Structure 1
């Protein structure tokens, strides 16, 4: 699910369907008032997924221009798109140390973002990443899926974990019945739900 690099497909000797959790993440965020929302990708490499996610939510998209200094350090040099007075939903495929998120947060503050929520498929959360991210007062919520187990000591009131079991089950059902798996991921918005404030 949500392979970090599309080239991984080349290592399989059988056909591979890559699943993603954009539908599950979108359904979670549709509970909020999205009238001032914008989806932000921490880097241009994830911008395509961020654009698909933004389309599902019916909101605009922005992206950071990121360069990697070392294995553990990144620098965001610019923010492309408008975030001023907007409720930002940062979408990343995985969060390990949280360095990219903390770096991006500085730019979002400087550009006048109103609030920040984080969404990721793979919550790797090495060492104290959850605590570091949650300690930032601007961040209202950190949302991940259960593709990676979250240890009890890493649980935090700001952390929400969504199950991808229904997506995996539906993918397997479609493969076994010969139905299209890619149809699961059409970029059509999910049905709107009643908005709640937050």
Structure 2
């Protein structure tokens, strides 16, 4: 596919590996840039080449270091705008503060709204993100937001597992609508977990499971996990109800070493996720395998840049994207990136 020579992709400090994968997919070079963190924690960014009148695509997740990564994005946008870039599109594979999407108790901030307004005030012209915690977050932005999904890549990974008597399992009612899309795409039945969360300590209690899982291979699907607690509690409930095998597919993996150890000791046989977040803790797991979301974003960037429709990526994506995303993942090192 021909690309306009003016396309320029740059990476924030935690987005370099993901941006490099995007560049390989698009067959373009990664822009030169530098991020320095001073001893007191102050962040400094510098563009290493001219960007005047260029369309810029800045790659950075707000992930394991959300405060630093978010502020760095603001500095990058400002730097590009002050360097006379034509447009700045923020490529944000994971938006951590998307979890703060509502005011559901007194005297709290709607954090996703604050972040959205800050990104726009800094000068962003467009945002591309994957599997936001809720669709309405797009409404927090006045600028265009392209909300793409890992579903087409993850479902192809599920198909390649060759599972017997599979059933898609949503961990809660909140993800049930998206889980239904997984089930419809694959032609599998659906079950839904019912859980409650009493505080902000990342502990959930599983109350019930709606649907037949007895004798089946349960495929838990969700947008992200931080502590792994919901996955582990759900897996216990599935075993109690007769599930014979359990695997999990998630868009974003934010787990630390403690969570990795707990998941290793759990009944979950395999966890498939994407490389949306730079997470060194995943390399220590024999159960975790990653598929790459970079080709999805590369395809989105190419379509945006050539003024083509991005909407086909919301459902079924081109075969070249699937092939690139899943290349070698089955035989690759555990916890490694395909």
Pairwise CA distance, 1:45: 0.5
**TM-score, L = length of structure 2:** 0.53
Pairwise CA distance, 1:167: 0.3
Say how many residue pairs are matched: 190
- Bigger relative CO (Cα 8 Å, ≥ 6 apart): 1
- 1:100 and 1:153 map into 2 onto residues whose CA distance is 18
- 1:153 and 1:99 map into 2 onto residues whose CA distance is 16
- 1:165 and 1:120 map into 2 onto residues whose CA distance is 15
Task: Show the 5 A alignment for 1:33-182.
Answer: 33-71=162-200, 72-136=202-266, 138-151=267-280, 154-182=283-311
Task: Show the 5 A alignment for 1:184-195.
Answer: 184-186=313-315
Asked if the contact 1:134–1:142 (Cα under 8 Å) also holds between the matched residues in 2, the reply is no
Pairwise CA distance, 1:94: 0.3
- 1:62 and 1:153 map into 2 onto residues whose CA distance is 28
Q: Identify unmatched segments of 5+ residues in structure 2.
A: 1-129, 323-329, 331-338
Pairwise CA distance, 1:187: 6.4
What is the root-mean-square deviation in Å for CA atoms of aligned residues? 2.1
- 1:34 and 1:152 map into 2 onto residues whose CA distance is 27
- Secondary structure in 2 aligned to 1:166? helix
Partner residue of 1:14 out of 143, 150, 154: 143
**TM-score, L = length of structure 1:** 0.88
- 1:121 and 1:92 map into 2 onto residues whose CA distance is 7
Deviations 1:86-145 (CA, angstroms, capped at 9, x unpaired): 011100100000111111112101110010001111100034112211211x31101110
Runs of 4+ residues over 6 Å off in structure 1: none
Pairwise CA distance, 1:153: 6.6
Q: 1:35 to 1:105 in 2, by over 3 A?
A: closer
Pairwise CA distance, 1:155: 2.7
Pairwise CA distance, 1:11: 2.5
- Secondary structure in 2 aligned to 1:18? strand
- 1:187 and 1:108 map into 2 onto residues whose CA distance is 30
Asked if the contact 1:55–1:187 (Cα under 8 Å) also holds between the matched residues in 2, the reply is no
- 2:186 and 2:148 map into 1 onto residues whose CA distance is 19
Asked if the contact 1:89–1:116 (Cα under 8 Å) also holds between the matched residues in 2, the reply is yes
Pairwise CA distance, 1:152: 5.0
Q: Identify unmatched segments of 5+ residues in structure 1.
A: none
Pairwise CA distance, 1:50: 0.8
Asked if the contact 2:152–2:315 (Cα under 8 Å) also holds between the matched residues in 1, the reply is no
- Secondary structure in 1 aligned to 2:160? coil
Asked if the contact 2:257–2:281 (Cα under 8 Å) also holds between the matched residues in 1, the reply is no
| 2:157 is the counterpart of 1:28 | yes
